[in-house]
C-alpha cells in the first residue's frame, strides 16, 4: 500500500508532536506550598496573604489576593499546606485560581481544597481556618511571585 508523501509527512509530524507533548508532561515537577490567607467580608469579601513555594531545593515568596462574591459574613485566618504539581518552573504557580464553595468556621475548622490555574498547576492543600466566618460563594484567588 502506497502512502502519499503529504500523508506520510503529516503522520510523522503527528507522531513527533505527540512525543513532544508526552515528554513535556513527563518533565513536569512538583513542589510544596504553604499559604496564610486572611479573609473578611460582608456580602462581598476580600482576601490577602502570603506564602512560600519550595521547588527543587529553593524557596520562593508568594503573595495572594482575591475576591469572594455571594453570601460572605465574618473574618478568618486560614493556613494551608500541601503539594503543587504539574509545574516546570516556579513561575508556573503564579496565576488565578477559581473555586465555588461553602463553609463555616466558628473558632477553628479544617479546610481542604484542590485548585488549578490557567497554566495547569494543581494545588492540593489542607489546613485549618480560625475565626468567625460563614460563606456560600464563588471565589477567586490570585497568586503572584514576590
In the chain, % helix, strand, coil (3-state, to 5) comes to 20, 70, 10
What's the pLDDT tens digit per position in 80-97? 999 999 999 999 999 999
Mean pLDDT, all residues of the chain: 84
Residue 15 inside a domain? The answer is no
Q: How many domains does the chain have?
A: 1
Q: What CATH number does residue 87 fall under?
A: 2.40.128
Q: Which domain holds residue 84?
A: 29-145
pTM for this prediction:
0.76
Nearest to 91, CA basis, from 61, 116, 48: 61
Residue 113 inside a domain? The answer is yes
Residue 89 inside a domain? The answer is yes
Residue 58 inside a domain? The answer is yes
Higher pLDDT, 15 or 35: 35
Q: What is the C-alpha to C-alpha distance for residues 141 and 96, in angstroms, rounded to an integer?
A: 6
Residue 63 inside a domain? The answer is yes
Residue 118 inside a domain? The answer is yes
Amino acid at each position: 500500500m502506497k502512502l502519499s508523501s503529504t500523508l506520510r509527512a503529516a503522520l510523522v509530524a503527528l507522531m513527533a508532536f505527540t512525543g513532544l507533548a508526552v515528554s513535556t508532561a513527563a518533565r513536569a515537577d512538583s513542589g510544596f506550598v504553604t499559604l496564610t490567607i486572611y479573609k473578611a467580608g460582608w456580602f462581598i469579601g476580600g482576601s490577602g496573604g502570603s506564602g512560600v513555594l519550595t521547588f527543587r531545593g529553593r524557596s520562593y515568596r508568594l503573595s495572594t489576593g482575591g475576591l469572594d462574591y455571594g453570601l460572605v459574613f465574618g473574618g478568618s485566618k486560614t493556613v494551608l499546606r500541601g503539594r503543587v504539581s504539574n509545574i516546570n518552573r516556579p513561575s508556573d504557580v503564579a496565576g488565578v485560581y477559581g473555586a465555588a464553595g461553602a463553609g463555616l468556621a466558628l473558632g477553628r475548622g479544617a479546610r481542604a481544597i484542590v485548585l488549578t490555574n490557567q497554566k495547569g498547576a494543581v494545588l492540593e492543600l489542607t489546613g485549618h481556618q480560625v475565626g468567625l466566618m460563614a460563606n456560600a460563594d464563588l471565589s477567586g484567588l490570585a497568586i503572584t511571585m514576590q
